Amino acid sequence: MSKEKLNFGSAQSGGKAFSWGDGFAVLFVIVLLYLGARLAFNAPAEITGPDISLEPKALPWYTLLSVGRMLAAYILSLLFTMVYGRWAAYNKRAEKILMPLLDVLQSVPILSFLPIVLLGLSAVLPENMAAEIASIVLIFTSQVWNLTFAWYQSLTTIPKEYKEASNIFRLNRWMRFKNLELPFGMISLVWNSMMSWAGGWFFLMAAEIFTVGKRDFRLPGLGAYLHEAANMNNISAILWGIFALVATVVVLDQLVWNPLLAWADKFKVEMVENENPPKSWFYDLISKGKIRNWLYSKVFNPLSNKLDAFMIRRYPMKSAPAKPKAWQRGLRYVVLVVVLGGLGFLIAQAVLMMVKIPGLTWGDMGLGLLATLGRVLLSLILALAWTVPLGVYIGTNPKVSAVLQPIVQVMASVPATALFPVVLLVMIKWPSGLEMAAILLMLMGTQWYLLFNIIAGASAIPQDLKHTAELMGLSKWERWKTLILPAIFPYLITGAITASGGAWNASIVAEYQIFDGSVLKLKGIGSIISHATAEGDYPLLLASTLAMILAVVLINRLLWRKLYSLAEEKYRMEN
């Protein structure tokens, strides 16, 4: 019988709800948004994007362009995740700034941030280059936060016995990363990578075609194709575009994600072999092939050994970090004073920009925040109601996972923004149809974050603990209470943090729509942000974006931080 168990000890205090790191993070984001808004004033007055062909023969090239942008954004996301998450997990001083900053950054509504990025970049770069970089940045921001939170959560919940073993063997940073941290977090990283791609597809249309007044930022791609087809009411083109999207998702699922899930199963923390491990025909094909064996023996293994040797020489195990010298400490203080002075000046300029906003508008933003908050809570409750049972069912039944996981991946990857005009066409005729359509779209921007994290948590439950629950004759409710819910709780909280941010972000599209030549809008902060974007009202765009950020940060601190601390301290795997 394995000695592994879930630690159900008392949760320690999560610390203060707010810290000076929160304030610094908010001020830093204010400065970034202000700089983007100032640059936006210098953007070209009129920009015309390239024509988008609706011929089916253009779809293969458009699909390659879209997948290329998704891949570039994912590589950036993965690099950011590895460095940022590890830094925050192991440097307590840096954690006081990095985690609040991560909370604030994931709270930034992507679709309100995009026009600032686009216009700012177009003021200093050629139009096509600015649009390409902005699209990758937008997709990056839809992929990176859940990856980073998941990686950080994995590092902070590594069992103490494993950490002590790595210290006994005097593993340096590289060997510790390679042999402990990466294997322990692999399942969560793979599932969150799938979710990140789904999130990237969701915002693909906005990333490839965006309009601010007379400035038409357009990039050839699958998202732009679907957007143009919807605008032209070309049903044939819409069907061709959705077919290309679904086919792309299925191919990626079979050739990338299913093989990764099958490969990552070997990193489960358990001593009893899984009776029904995830399978992949493509993984079986390449793992048994001669080319794979040749590559491993002639290419990968020699390169890995050389890299290990270099890293061991470069980063030897140190007993204690060297203390900084007096001149180094002095230089740090000088840099700190200069940075704080620059931040203070730019924040003052941002305040001067926002004081032009009338008092009644500030009142409307307050009411809009409350209205959007209600829709976010409702969408989150609806998402939890079905993702928890289905996620556990898929995660604990590999045979079921083999059938449902590809279907779920396809459904999650179809951008709701592509289907929303059709949904709106039907629901607008119903009483409160616009309200229901908005909540439905926010639900679509919320549910997949929860589902994939819950599946990852359920699939990571050690097999020996499942056997123990069966031997004890626990009822279904007792098994949920004592094993399943505690085991998935850290993953559920990680998913809920990003899901709530996704719902706030989706409100920008859900609450403001241009339909059949007329503007349809609901009271909400997302509607105000969309209106400010359409009108090019940069002070209002800055103020409403900051209002949403502050609201999300406040919720994160008063609710999610407490629950995250509970997950870290009470529901972690221990030996």
Percent of the chain surpassing pLDDT 70: 80
**C-alpha to C-alpha distance for 523 and 241, rounded to whole angstroms:** 33
Q: Can you give the pLDDT at residue 337? A: 82
Handedness of CA 199, 200, 201, 203 (dihedral sign): positive
Q: How does residue 75 score in pLDDT terms, banded at 50, 70 and 90? A: very high
Mean pLDDT of the chain: 78
Averaged over 268-285, what is the pLDDT? Answer: 66
- Of 192, 251, 218, the closest CA to residue 60 belongs to 251
The residues spanned by each domain of the chain are 18-43+59-276+359-574, 277-316
Q: How does residue 273 score in pLDDT terms, banded at 50, 70 and 90? A: low
User: How far, CA to CA in Å, does 477 sit from each of 37, 480, 483?
Assistant: 53, 5, 10
- Is 70 exceeded by the pLDDT of residue 427? yes
Residue with tokens 């891949």: 71
Tokens representing residue 484 in the block: 């399943």
Q: Is the pTM of the predicted complex or chain greater than 0.75? A: no
**C-alpha to C-alpha distance for 105 and 100, rounded to whole angstroms:** 9
Please indicate whether residue 6 or residue 215 has the higher confidence score (pLDDT): 215
Q: Can you give the pLDDT at residue 3? A: 36
- Is 50 exceeded by the pLDDT of residue 193? yes
Q: How does residue 274 score in pLDDT terms, banded at 50, 70 and 90? A: low
Q: Can you give the pLDDT at residue 367? A: 93
- Of 232, 288, 237, the closest CA to residue 259 belongs to 288
pLDDT digits (tens, 9 = 90+) for 147-178: 898 898 888 888 777 777 777 777 777 788 88
Among the listed ranges 241-255, 309-323, 404-418, 547-561, which one has the minimum average pLDDT value?
309-323
Q: Can you give the pLDDT at residue 4? A: 39
Contacts of 244 (CB under 8 A, 6+ apart): 59, 60, 62, 63, 222, 225
Please indicate whether residue 208 or residue 362 has the higher confidence score (pLDDT): 362
Averaged over 5-31, what is the pLDDT? Answer: 57
Q: Can you give the pLDDT at residue 111? A: 66
Please indicate whether residue 363 or residue 500 has the higher confidence score (pLDDT): 363
Q: Can you give the pLDDT at residue 80? A: 93
Q: How does residue 112 score in pLDDT terms, banded at 50, 70 and 90? A: low
Neighbours of 133 (CB within 10 A): 16
Contacts of 497 (CB under 8 A, 6+ apart): 106, 149, 556, 560, 564
Strands (E), 213-356: 215-218
Total residue count of the chain as it appears in this document: 575
**C-alpha to C-alpha distance for 207 and 223, rounded to whole angstroms:** 8
Among the listed ranges 68-82, 357-371, 445-459, which one has the minimum average pLDDT value?
445-459
pLDDT digits (tens, 9 = 90+) for 465-500: 777 877 787 777 888 888 888 888 888 887 888 788
Residue with tokens 């610390």: 15
Q: Can you give the pLDDT at residue 418? A: 62
Q: How does residue 79 score in pLDDT terms, banded at 50, 70 and 90? A: very high
Tokens representing residue 322 in the block: 């060297």
- Of 322, 320, 317, 318, the closest CA to residue 175 belongs to 317
Q: Can you give the pLDDT at residue 64? A: 93
Rounded (5°) CA angle 556-6-558: 15
Per 3-state DSSP, the chain is made up of helix, strand and coil in percentages (nearest 5) of 75, 5, 20
Tokens representing residue 373 in the block: 């908050």
- Is 60 exceeded by the pLDDT of residue 1? no
Q: Are 59 and 128 in contact (CB under 8 A)?
A: no
- Of 68, 103, 71, 62, the closest CA to residue 193 belongs to 71
Q: How does residue 5 score in pLDDT terms, banded at 50, 70 and 90? A: very low
Percent of the chain surpassing pLDDT 90: 10
Tokens representing residue 422 in the block: 């059709």
Strand pairing partners for 491? none
**C-alpha to C-alpha distance for 379 and 501, rounded to whole angstroms:** 12
pLDDT digits (tens, 9 = 90+) for 214-256: 666 678 888 888 777 876 778 888 888 888 888 888 888 888 8
